[in-house]
């Protein structure tokens, strides 16, 4: 990203305003520890983070990640990505990210709830409906958002909009759980038209919330999904996988492995012969070492950073079109914005309205990126960064930086 920022010549366009440094450095970094009593009476210590990167375009916005390898540098990078993502898709939010260094599978539900409430208590003066709005991320869900909302409302009068991704019963939005996957497929459908792909086939890496909803969205549009994997293994069917049946199987067993409507996939799914690859697992799945294995013509990034920078160069040289994460997986934050609007107005929108608005907004962003990429002869990733960073830089100046 620094290379892209340098090539934008922001300091030449806005002399003596220190635009680059202001963008690269977060506004605030919050690091603290919490002590949580386990069910057996012992006490564990957990490292907690919240990074507020930039609020030029609106209040801070970003998810909370529970993972044993969470660290401050990662949270800073993810907060920066959120700033770029919200700017790119024209929603009035800035960027933030949070995290706790924890393996949530090693804690009971009661222990997790105590941890979430402690984390919320540590951020009472930093989050809020008009200042910083968290959301789910890796290792968290609507359940954790409900706990944050409940803990926050014990201490603050206005609480409904303190988080998004909440359960419907406490102010969540219809369409939010499927939004990231649906948004991915919206951008994918636009790219299919641009590339002129006929009857394209899809392979999906990762079958969690994002991957499964992307698969369902593909199936609803008549797009064939031939291969899927998760942390336990992969499956394929050259005639297409019955996605609704697979989702039911995963809900019952916890994995795609053993699904009767497909064969076991022995090779790396990124090497599967398909037209479109949807990497929806964790970061760094496609590297310079394995990028040459990709046979797809189109990659739509469902995860954050699934393609490394070195791999990006290799794939671009191979002629693979990549729809970058900051565009492809922005459906979640777009519908989070809709949830915020509904909370502020005391409304519940029908799911069709949410999905229609999402389609229009993410399609508009895709078209802006596609147009710039063609005009400047640059990748979609660079075009996305150019558009987003330029919006933020202009807003900084308009707000009185000079």
Domain 25-170, CATH class in plain words: alpha beta
184 has pLDDT over 90: yes
- Please check whether residue 209 is in contact with residue 180, taking contact to mean a CB–CB distance below 8 angstroms: yes
Same fold flag, 25-170 and 173-402: yes
| pTM, two decimal places | 0.93
So what's the pLDDT on residue 5? 67
So what's the pLDDT on residue 19? 78
14 has pLDDT over 70: yes
Across the chain, mean pLDDT equals 95
Active site residue 353: no
Q: What is the pLDDT of residues 115-147, one digit of tens each?
A: 999 999 999 999 999 999 999 998 999 999 999
- Please check whether residue 109 is in contact with residue 115, taking contact to mean a CB–CB distance below 8 angstroms: no
So what's the pLDDT on residue 48? 99
pLDDT band at 16 (very low <50, low <70, confident <90, very high): confident
Domain 173-402, CATH class in plain words: alpha beta
Q: What is the pLDDT of residues 347-363, one digit of tens each?
A: 999 999 999 999 999 99
Neighbours of 151 (CB within 10 A): 21
Active-site option among 61, 76, 85, 97: 97
Q: What is the pLDDT of residues 227-261, one digit of tens each?
A: 999 999 999 999 999 999 999 999 999 999 999 99
pLDDT band at 24 (very low <50, low <70, confident <90, very high): confident
Burial class (CB in 10 A: 0-12, 13-18, 19+), 324: buried
- Please check whether residue 240 is in contact with residue 204, taking contact to mean a CB–CB distance below 8 angstroms: no
Distance of CA 352 to the CA centre of its chain: 22
Q: What is the pLDDT of residues 35-53, one digit of tens each?
A: 999 999 999 999 999 999 9
Domain ranges of the chain: 25-170, 173-402
Question: First vs last Cα of the chain: how many Å apart?
Answer: 25
6 has pLDDT over 80: no
What are the distances in angstroms from CA 257 to CA 29, 126, 268?
41, 43, 15
């Amino acid at each position: 990203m620094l290379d892209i920022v340098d090539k934008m010549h922001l300091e030449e366009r806005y002399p003596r305003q220190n635009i680059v440094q202001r963008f690269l450095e977060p506004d605030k970094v919050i690091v603290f520890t919490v002590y949580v009593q386990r069910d057996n009476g012992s006490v564990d210590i957990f490292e907690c983070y919240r990074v507020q990167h930039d609020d030029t375009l609106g209040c801070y916005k970003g998810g909370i990640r529970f993972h044993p390898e969470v660290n401050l540098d990662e949270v800073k990078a993810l907060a920066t990505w959120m700033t770029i993502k919200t700017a790119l898709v024209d929603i009035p939010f800035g960027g933030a990210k949070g995290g706790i260094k924890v393996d949530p599978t090693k804690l009971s539900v009661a222990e997790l709830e105590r941890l979430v409430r402690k984390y919320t208590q540590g951020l009472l003066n930093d989050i809020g409906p008009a200042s910083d709005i968290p959301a789910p991320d890796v290792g968290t869900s609507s359940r954790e958002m409900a706990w944050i909302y409940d803990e926050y409302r014990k201490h603050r009068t206005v609480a409904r909009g303190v988080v998004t991704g909440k359960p419907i019963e406490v102010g969540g939005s219809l369409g939010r759980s499927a939004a990231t996957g649906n948004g991915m497929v919206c951008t994918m459908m636009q790219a299919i038209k641009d590339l002129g792909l006929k009857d394209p086939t899809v392979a999906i890496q990762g079958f969690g919330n994002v991957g499964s909803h992307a698969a369902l969205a593909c199936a609803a549009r008549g797009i064939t999904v031939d291969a899927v994997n998760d942390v336990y293994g992969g499956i394929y069917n050259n005639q297409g996988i019955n996605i609704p049946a697979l989702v039911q199987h995963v809900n019952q067993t916890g994995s795609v492995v053993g699904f009767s409507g497909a064969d076991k996939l022995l090779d790396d799914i990124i090497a599967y012969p398909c037209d479109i690859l949807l990497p929806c697992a964790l970061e760094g799945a496609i590297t310079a070492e394995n990028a040459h294995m990709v046979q797809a013509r189109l990659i739509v990034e469902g995860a954050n950073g699934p393609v490394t920078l070195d791999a990006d160069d290799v794939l671009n040289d191979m002629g693979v079109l990549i729809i970058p994460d900051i565009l492809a997986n922005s459906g979640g934050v777009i519908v989070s914005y809709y949830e915020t609007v509904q909370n502020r107005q005391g409304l519940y929108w029908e799911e069709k309205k949410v999905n229609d608005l999402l389609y229009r907004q993410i399609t508009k962003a895709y078209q802006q990126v596609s147009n710039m990429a063609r005009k400047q002869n640059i990748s979609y990733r660079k075009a996305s960064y150019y558009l987003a960073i330029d919006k933020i830089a202009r807003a900084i100046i308009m707000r009185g930086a000079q």
